[in-house]
Structure 1
Amino acid sequence: MANEKEILNSSKAPEPVGLYPHARKVGNLLFLSGVGPRERGSKKIPGVELDEAGTILSYDIEAQCHSVFRNVRYILEEAGSGWDQLIDVTVYLTNMKDDFATYNRIYADYFKENQPCRTTVEINKLPTPIAIELKCIATI
């Protein structure tokens, strides 16, 4: 997975939507690019229903949370790190008012053992029709 430039890409996480790697290793730190809930090899987003124009008709934040956490885990493990080595997580939500309580409950289930620093912010939009994205730092 790694090359001499310390750029890391997962064979399981969704393909990046631009020119960036899934992660980059610097010393004993692993910096993950923004990770969303999309599925590798398709444009499918768990829990999202789109109309023919690509506009979001409905979405399930719970399904997206589970999917994004799974994708982060894929990247960590393929890079030689792990869930328990996360030290900082920035979470971007597109609808804090309606989604925070559900996201926060699911987050607490995933992070019972390891409690990295966390920042959660609301943003207007993400590059694909998703409601959550994570930006993470872990140790290796």
Structure 2
Amino acid sequence: MSKIHSSQAPEPVGSYPHARRVGNLLFLSGVGPRQRGSSEIPGVTLDAERNIIDYDIEKQCHAVFQNVRYILEDAGAQWENLVDVTVFLTNMKQDFAVFNKVYAVYFKDNQPCRTTVEVNALPTPIAIELKCIAALE
């Protein structure tokens, strides 16, 4: 088993690698929309206590997909290697339609299995997180 630490994706918020390779499978840790080297989140407005005032789910979707791509690339994989995606949204009713529209653009050709669930909160003030598995050749 090897650990993958991406030089492009945002730093993990805990003691875990961006991904682990086990045989020909690559397991990504939860990936959010933050940008490397910053605590800022694309499309998110926070108050003084770091509570979400407003957010743009479309911007967060694009950012999280880019972060997944960074981790895949740093692991020697490609977008097309994704076989399973678990999506965590904090507001299914408000965000699912926009998420689904953006997802369809990114996964037009490669369509991995997908599960989408609503969660009460995520570890940082974000509205989306992905958990992915890729099959390597």
| TM interval, short-chain normalised | over 0.9
**CA distance, structure 2, for counterparts of residue 55 and residue 34 of structure 1:** 21
Which position in structure 2 is the counterpart of 1:95? 91
Which position in structure 1 is the counterpart of 2:7? 11
Please state if 1:69 is matched with 2:65. yes
Which position in structure 1 is the counterpart of 2:135? 139
**CA distance, structure 1, for counterparts of residue 95 and residue 129 of structure 2:** 13
**CA distance, structure 2, for counterparts of residue 139 and residue 41 of structure 1:** 29
Cα deviation code 1:72-121 (max 9, x no counterpart)? 00000110111000000000000000000000000000000100000000
- Give the TM-score of the pair, scaled to structure 1: 0.96
1:46 aligned residue (42, 51, 55): 42
Structure 2 runs not aligned, ≥5 long:
none
**CA distance, structure 2, for counterparts of residue 27 and residue 55 of structure 1:** 41
Which position in structure 1 is the counterpart of 2:79? 83
Paired letter, 2:94: D
Q: How do residues 122-137 of structure 1 correspond to structure 2 at under 5 angstroms? A: 122-137=118-133
- After TM superposition, what 4+ stretches of structure 1 lie above 6 angstroms from structure 2? none
Paired letter, 1:25: R
**CA distance, structure 2, for counterparts of residue 127 and residue 106 of structure 1:** 23
Structure 1 runs not aligned, ≥5 long:
none
Which position in structure 2 is the counterpart of 1:117? 113
RMSD over aligned CA atoms reads 0.6
Give aligned-pair identity as a percent.
Answer: 71
**CA distance, structure 1, for counterparts of residue 93 and residue 5 of structure 2:** 33
**CA distance, structure 1, for counterparts of residue 75 and residue 99 of structure 2:** 26
Paired letter, 1:35: V
Aligned length: 136
- Give the TM-score of the pair, scaled to structure 2: 0.98
**CA distance, structure 2, for counterparts of residue 33 and residue 44 of structure 1:** 20
